[in-house]
Chains A and B, each alone.
Chain A
């Protein structure tokens, strides 16, 4: 109901406007129409917002997510190696491959501590005390349940060829696996689970294609390796001779696990290597390269016994953290734990070739390679790379002068070499976590599932690389900035000049009208046409100038016109209409009254144009510049035509450098088949968006500052 609820006033003749209820109805109709339009506009807004969110989502979705990362070298292994070195280097430390020596050394000194395979503790239980580690004492139950922190599996590795070609080896292994459980407790170890033994036996049967001979009389079997496995193997070897009636040669050397592997694979003078730790992936790969193809047979479980002398009065319990300190070279007991006496720590440990040392080092070490000191990392790098490469690093910058972070980066790149073997988008990572974990566990047992940020600091600061995990956008960012800088430096002054001329000076004749029409239409020409133009003019015809050779300043990396300068010039042509049209509009928007005020004071045309027209058009001109910058930053097609580099690791240093730009990099990465490139393309898109926001933000900031001073 409208306000005209009373009697409608009599309409004067010829007065034809709705009155009363009719007016209310008419107003209602108008409001309805307005609401419909509003709805349409709101819908348009929603569509725009949805599109924007979808775009952002698709980029962010690929920029973050789970990735299965496999390291060429396990960082834990590196840490174990470093820890072993620390242990060997610690003062006041006796090392020996012979556990008897260790037992004797510990027994003799109340301040001594040592460790070795559990078997030896049984032999020396009368003179040594076994320490509880993290509150757990080693016994069959705690070792099998894994509660004892220093338990480890024992293996035999047998060369495939030996198993196939030497029946005595197959027969010995068969006997070993069937009887290990009978003797292992006597030797002082703990049996492997029945399943593990069965699985090992199955593997053996599969490998020995000729079958396992029922009994074997003669032959030659050579075994080397872990001093821990040694007593077990020795016991079984004796039984094999005595009970099975084996009459051939059977040598069992205690060399340490690592040395055993070397004899199995490198020198190939043994058939079987005893081992107190699993072969690393690298060792396995190295052996496979040498055609040994070892098979892994689990034979038992060892626990490392940490022992002190019976004369020791203060130590019954120790934690792994304390063990790390104790064996890394702490000088006095009280340094490690204030409850302990102020007495020197005396250490007795297995030697460098011992699997027990490696195992212990790995079990007690804490921290990651990132925490290693430069001095600890350099030898790791040195042993991992060729001497030539190492010398090149040294020449680029002596290691002594490099920062820890710098050296760690080298360690990552050259030693650990993490590589992504599988990756997932953010949504998949969040929604199908369990599934992904399972997939990684089965398909990539050595890989670690990590939350990967494809957009990281390293990504921003690294140059392009053919390895997606190491590729970065530094070169592209710098290229983009250079190109946009040149574009803006050229397009903005020319654009403003043209706009001023057309608006303030040009007469209204048909020639100028044609120019104006042309400019308006140029804004719609496909950008690739500009690329063709740029190629013909800047890259080819003006090569002398764009390559810098005419000025004698050409960049050594390039001898042609495919430079930052050519790209900047081409993009300047491309964005020129945008700059001109925006500047013209801004100039036109300067009120006539301001110009008149200027002229009325006796100012010349130039004075009025400069002080009043341009100054007041500046915000609009900035808007045009922002649009131009955004356009230039996002252009790909013309740069492809003029020949931006698709793979370049060298930063552009000036107008005559070779270059690539961000969108180019993105385009290039999206066309790669590997999934990881999709992720870095998305990350680069985020970088591009951020760069755009940054540049536009600073332009808007400048614009606001300028308009405020007006």
Chain B
């Protein structure tokens, strides 16, 4: 299969083979039973999300490995973004949205009443589908997040480091005072990534970060993710099967049921999911026979 032959190699070599079957009773996708007991980056337990009366996603159990790239794939409307946004309480911004269940992060449920969403988002950053730099200078774009979070140190150094980490420094170092809007789409997206890593998060959530970009910019972002993953845990939503295969270590596949409620179908190491899916639906989807 074309997709499988194009699959990136080596990205999941370290731990992929240790993940076991995740299917639980009732045909629902279940968390991967882990064989090693290192700490998880973040974990969703029995997560159900509603928009008003609409049950958007149900019974999500997802264990995210630290310093790995986890891809969320599935057909449009199956709730990938909804799930992703649940990991840093972005759904709080949607008045009708309601999250049930637990999301454990550093041993704490981020939805516990005593936890402030602001604190969560400082630890779990987000990069959006459409590049959305602030209408400010490149410098301020990167510095602002750090500033509001009380960063006191060497701001110039922080900005430079974040831009370097986002592989943007060389392109913008001479025009830091220019508007973030003056950059190309791909550069803007890398600026948003720089902005996200400037607040030193532990996890970066990316919702289709390359959907507005051309193939070259997409590759640049993918290379960047591979670099970033050495320090950060990355979760990425993508419609691009090759991208998921190329960059991710783990892949979670979502589907909707007849009531259009999204659920996790299969979750496992990317190589396994793409070469040897447990579920027929997964295979149909990744081979393009479906969805």
Q: Do A and B come together as binding partners?
A: yes
Show the binding face of A for B, using Cβ within 8 Å.
507-508, 591, 593-604, 607, 611-612, 615-616, 710
Given A597-B132, A611-B148, 15 additional A-B pairs, CB 8 A: A596-B126, A596-B128, A596-B132, A598-B134, A599-B121, A600-B90, A600-B121, A600-B128, A601-B121, A601-B149, A601-B195, A602-B121, A603-B144, A604-B118, A710-B135
Option from A595, A601, A604, A616 in Cβ contact (under 8 Å) with B93: A595
B230 at the interface (CB under 8 A from A): no
Which residues of A sit under 8 angstroms from B95, Cβ to Cβ?
Answer: 507-508
Which residues of B sit under 8 angstroms from A596, Cβ to Cβ?
Answer: 90, 93, 126, 128, 132
A710 CA to B136 CA in the complex, in Å? 6
Known A-B contacts A593-B130, A595-B93, A596-B128; the reply to A603 vs B148 at CB < 8 A is yes
Option from A597, A604, A607, A612 in Cβ contact (under 8 Å) with B128: A597
Which residues of B sit under 8 angstroms from A710, Cβ to Cβ?
Answer: 135-136
Which residues of A sit under 8 angstroms from B199, Cβ to Cβ?
Answer: 601-602
Which residues of A sit under 8 angstroms from B132, Cβ to Cβ?
Answer: 591, 593-594, 596-597
A612 CA to B134 CA in the complex, in Å? 8
B101 at the interface (CB under 8 A from A): no
Closest CB of chain B to A316's CB: distance in Å? 84
Measured CB to CB, the nearest residue on chain B to A597 is B132
B122 touches A602 (CB 8 A): yes
Q: Secondary structure of the A side of the interface?
A: helix
Which residues of A sit under 8 angstroms from B128, Cβ to Cβ?
Answer: 593, 596-597, 600
Closest CB of chain A to B158's CB: distance in Å? 13
A599 touches B93 (CB 8 A): yes
Which residues of A sit under 8 angstroms from B118, Cβ to Cβ?
Answer: 602-604
B156 at the interface (CB under 8 A from A): no
A595 CA to B132 CA in the complex, in Å? 10
Show the binding face of B for A, using Cβ within 8 Å.
88, 90, 93, 95, 117-119, 121-123, 125-128, 130, 132-136, 144-145, 148-149, 192, 195-196, 199
A597 touches B192 (CB 8 A): yes
Which residues of B sit under 8 angstroms from A595, Cβ to Cβ?
Answer: 93
Closest CB of chain A to B155's CB: distance in Å? 15
Which residues of B sit under 8 angstroms from A602, Cβ to Cβ?
Answer: 118-119, 121-123, 125, 145, 148-149, 199
Measured CB to CB, the nearest residue on chain B to A601 is B145
13 contacts between A and B (CB under 8 A): A593-B128, A599-B90, A599-B93, A600-B126, A600-B196, A601-B122, A601-B144, A602-B118, A602-B199, A603-B145, A607-B148, A611-B148, A616-B135
- With most chain B CB atoms within 10 A of its CB, the pick from A508, A594, A599, A607 is A599
B135 touches A600 (CB 8 A): no
Option from B90, B122, B134 in Cβ contact (under 8 Å) with A594: B134
Which residues of B sit under 8 angstroms from A598, Cβ to Cβ?
Answer: 134
- With most chain B CB atoms within 10 A of its CB, the pick from A601, A604, A615 is A601
A29 CA to B63 CA in the complex, in Å? 62
Closest CB of chain A to B200's CB: distance in Å? 10
A710 CA to B140 CA in the complex, in Å? 11
Which residues of B sit under 8 angstroms from A599, Cβ to Cβ?
Answer: 90, 93, 117, 121
Measured CB to CB, the nearest residue on chain A to B179 is A710
A600 touches B88 (CB 8 A): yes
Measured CB to CB, the nearest residue on chain B to A604 is B118
A611 CA to B95 CA in the complex, in Å? 22
Closest CB of chain A to B186's CB: distance in Å? 17
Which residues of A sit under 8 angstroms from B123, Cβ to Cβ?
Answer: 602
A595 CA to B94 CA in the complex, in Å? 12
6 smallest A-B Cβ distances: which pairs? Answer: A602-B122, A601-B145, A600-B126, A593-B132, A602-B121, A710-B135
A597 CA to B198 CA in the complex, in Å? 13
Which residues of A sit under 8 angstroms from B125, Cβ to Cβ?
Answer: 600-602
Measured CB to CB, the nearest residue on chain B to A708 is B179
Closest CB of chain A to B212's CB: distance in Å? 12
Closest CB of chain A to B189's CB: distance in Å? 12
A602 CA to B145 CA in the complex, in Å? 7
A611 touches B144 (CB 8 A): yes
Which residues of A sit under 8 angstroms from B126, Cβ to Cβ?
Answer: 596, 600
Which residues of A sit under 8 angstroms from B93, Cβ to Cβ?
Answer: 595-596, 599
- With most chain B CB atoms within 10 A of its CB, the pick from A507, A598, A602 is A602
Measured CB to CB, the nearest residue on chain B to A710 is B135
A595 CA to B118 CA in the complex, in Å? 13
Which residues of B sit under 8 angstroms from A607, Cβ to Cβ?
Answer: 148
Closest CB of chain A to B196's CB: distance in Å? 7
A597 CA to B125 CA in the complex, in Å? 10
Closest CB of chain A to B34's CB: distance in Å? 29
- With most chain A CB atoms within 10 A of its CB, the pick from B88, B125, B135 is B135
Which residues of A sit under 8 angstroms from B148, Cβ to Cβ?
Answer: 601-604, 607, 611
Closest CB of chain B to A556's CB: distance in Å? 51
A611 CA to B145 CA in the complex, in Å? 11
Closest CB of chain A to B98's CB: distance in Å? 15
Closest CB of chain B to A591's CB: distance in Å? 8
Which residues of A sit under 8 angstroms from B88, Cβ to Cβ?
Answer: 600
Measured CB to CB, the nearest residue on chain A to B149 is A602
Closest CB of chain A to B125's CB: distance in Å? 6
Closest CB of chain B to A404's CB: distance in Å? 55
A615 CA to B136 CA in the complex, in Å? 10
A603 CA to B123 CA in the complex, in Å? 12
A601 CA to B135 CA in the complex, in Å? 15
Closest CB of chain A to B105's CB: distance in Å? 14
A615 CA to B135 CA in the complex, in Å? 9
Which residues of B sit under 8 angstroms from A603, Cβ to Cβ?
Answer: 118, 144-145, 148-149
A598 CA to B148 CA in the complex, in Å? 10
Which residues of B sit under 8 angstroms from A591, Cβ to Cβ?
Answer: 132
A62 CA to B135 CA in the complex, in Å? 50
Measured CB to CB, the nearest residue on chain A to B195 is A601
Measured CB to CB, the nearest residue on chain B to A610 is B148
Closest CB of chain B to A4's CB: distance in Å? 37
- With most chain B CB atoms within 10 A of its CB, the pick from A603, A615, A616 is A603
Measured CB to CB, the nearest residue on chain B to A593 is B132
A616 CA to B90 CA in the complex, in Å? 22
Closest CB of chain B to A615's CB: distance in Å? 8
Which residues of B sit under 8 angstroms from A508, Cβ to Cβ?
Answer: 95
Closest CB of chain A to B106's CB: distance in Å? 15
Which residues of A sit under 8 angstroms from B130, Cβ to Cβ?
Answer: 593
Closest CB of chain A to B227's CB: distance in Å? 21
Which residues of A sit under 8 angstroms from B195, Cβ to Cβ?
Answer: 597, 601
Which residues of A sit under 8 angstroms from B192, Cβ to Cβ?
Answer: 597
Closest CB of chain B to A293's CB: distance in Å? 85
A599 CA to B132 CA in the complex, in Å? 12
A613 CA to B223 CA in the complex, in Å? 34
A341 CA to B126 CA in the complex, in Å? 102
A533 CA to B187 CA in the complex, in Å? 57
Closest CB of chain B to A606's CB: distance in Å? 10
Which residues of B sit under 8 angstroms from A594, Cβ to Cβ?
Answer: 132, 134-135
Closest CB of chain B to A435's CB: distance in Å? 64
A508 CA to B196 CA in the complex, in Å? 31
- With most chain B CB atoms within 10 A of its CB, the pick from A600, A607, A615, A710 is A600
A615 CA to B144 CA in the complex, in Å? 14
Measured CB to CB, the nearest residue on chain A to B198 is A601
Which residues of A sit under 8 angstroms from B117, Cβ to Cβ?
Answer: 599
A272 CA to B268 CA in the complex, in Å? 132
Measured CB to CB, the nearest residue on chain A to B136 is A710
Closest CB of chain A to B11's CB: distance in Å? 26
Which residues of B sit under 8 angstroms from A616, Cβ to Cβ?
Answer: 135
A612 CA to B133 CA in the complex, in Å? 11
A710 CA to B126 CA in the complex, in Å? 23
Which residues of B sit under 8 angstroms from A600, Cβ to Cβ?
Answer: 88, 90, 121, 125-128, 196
Closest CB of chain A to B209's CB: distance in Å? 12
Measured CB to CB, the nearest residue on chain B to A592 is B93
Which residues of B sit under 8 angstroms from A604, Cβ to Cβ?
Answer: 118, 148
Measured CB to CB, the nearest residue on chain B to A590 is B135
Which residues of B sit under 8 angstroms from A593, Cβ to Cβ?
Answer: 128, 130, 132
